[in-house]
Amino acid sequence: MTTVGILGGGQLARMMALAGAPLGLRFLVMDTSAEACAGQFVPMVVGDWRDEAALAEFASRVDVATFDFENVPAESAEWLAARIPVFPAPRALAVAQDRLAEKTLFNELGIGTPAFAAVDTRADLDAAVARIGLPAILKTRRLGYDGKGQFRLKTHAEVDAAWSALGAQAPKVGLILESFVPFEREVSVVAVRGRDGAFRAWPLTENWHRDGILSASMAPAAGADALAPQALSQARRVAEALGYVGVFALELFVREGELLANEMAPRVHNSGHWTIEGAETSQFENHLRAVLGLPLGDTSAVGASVMLNWVGTMPDAGPVLSSAAGHWHDYGKSAREGRKVGHATLRAGDRPALAAALGPVVASLGRREEFAPVLARLAEAG
């Protein structure tokens, strides 16, 4: 009996455990909060990431460890990796945790990014604004997610406000200024690399964000045939350069038909949730297969899928449950503004059938406006 340890006990750990049950796996999650939602049905160790006694207990009870949360301190990951197999390796995690390190790596691999500059001081910020120009986004280099730790700068008059908002964090997590990309669309590659170097990617996914948080995903992305080979090759180069093992996501902007890499998430990713019902093998199962050294499963899409994220509160389940295309995921979390509490995936045989199913569901939920860009993309793709 193999026990997989997961650092972080949120919805990603929860969905990983659900995917691992048919493989005969057991799980143990570690989280700083006793309320972490995977703990509702997965055994849990509650402790701070830097608490060696908690880490030691966790290590003694698992055969291999992985992550549902990329901001586990690199030292904690290294402490564990000295004792048990840990995938992805702490070095890969460290690069992906740092927006400056990952963008530098992307450029070294010939992957385009928005222009960027490291910012440690107020003088650096002025120099970065002068070099990169405006509009731009000031972000924390580390520990940011879902649009947190970001300030959008449109005019020079806002430089003071940006520094007031984030300057205090510069000594601890570092800052980066990036040029603001007026993108046409956002896409992501969700991919997996095995312990033997085998590489597979799911079809390119198109994503829509609201307030920096993923709102919806559609896969396979419509009209992306010209972009997909390049995006997949970029993901492969990143994975190979890092000796990466497991699932990861590469988030890309599309501007004037060109790809620009925004960031890499070193874990299963929200833009891959559609793979649970919409692909031969889900991202969660393939992540487990990768970290355990098992053969990777087929990443082909089954029909066409749209995932709708529930942020803040869960809507009424009725419209999704009543739809033949609908699949419901409630993470068992309490409601809180900006918090991902669940999602739904609608999957149908092809895009016209998906459009026919999605329209009535979002109308019944009273959310046509929120998901209008998704409906429009489906309509235009035909």
What burial letters (b/e) apply to 36-68, b meaning 16+ CB within 10 Å?
Answer: bbbbeebebbbbebebeebbeebbeebebbbbb
Minimum Å gap between C-beta 350 and ligand AMP is 28
User: Residues 31, 70, 98, 263: which binds ligand AMP (CB under 6 A)?
Assistant: 263
Site string for ligand AMP, 132-151 (x = CB under 6 A): -----x------x--x----
d(CA 244, CA 16): 18
Query: Which two tokens mark 96?
Result: 């992906």
Minimum Å gap between C-beta 213 and ligand AMP is 8
Evaluate the omega torsion of the peptide bond into residue 229 and state whether it is cis, within 30 degrees of 0.
no
User: Residues 134, 181, 294, 317: which binds ligand AMP (CB under 6 A)?
Assistant: 181
CB of 295 within 8 A of CB of 285? Answer: no
User: Residues 114, 174, 272, 326: which binds ligand AMP (CB under 6 A)?
Assistant: 114
User: 3-state SS of the chain: helix, strand, coil percent to 5?
Assistant: 35, 25, 35
d(CA 291, CA 218): 27
* Residue 98 makes contact with ligand AMP by CB under 6 A: no
Segment lying near ligand AMP (by CB under 6 A), choices 180-188, 219-227, 235-243, 341-349: 180-188
Question: What dihedral do alpha carbons 44, 50, 52, 54 form, nearest 10°?
Answer: -10
- Scan residues 216-255 and list those touching ligand AMP (CB under 6 A): 251
* Residue 178 makes contact with ligand AMP by CB under 6 A: yes
CB of 216 within 8 A of CB of 207? Answer: yes
Segment lying near ligand AMP (by CB under 6 A), choices 163-171, 178-186, 192-200, 333-341: 178-186
User: Residues 78, 180, 195, 297: which binds ligand AMP (CB under 6 A)?
Assistant: 180
Element holding 2 (H helix, E strand): none
Directed axis angle between helix 99-108 and helix 228-242, to 10°?
A: 110
For 380, half-sphere exposure in the C-beta direction (CA atoms, 13 angstrom radius) is 10
* Residue 158 makes contact with ligand AMP by CB under 6 A: no
Residue with tokens 């790596």: 105
Site string for ligand AMP, 63-92 (x = CB under 6 A): ------------------------------
When the beta carbons of 217 and 262 are compared against ligand AMP, the nearer one is 262
When the beta carbons of 206 and 263 are compared against ligand AMP, the nearer one is 263
d(CA 113, CA 261): 5
CB of 220 within 8 A of CB of 301? Answer: yes
Minimum Å gap between C-beta 152 and ligand AMP is 8
User: Residues 102, 186, 206, 277: which binds ligand AMP (CB under 6 A)?
Assistant: 186
* Residue 199 makes contact with ligand AMP by CB under 6 A: no
Which residues would be at the binding site for ligand AMP (CB under 6 A)? 114, 137, 144, 147, 178, 180-181, 186, 209, 212, 251, 262-263
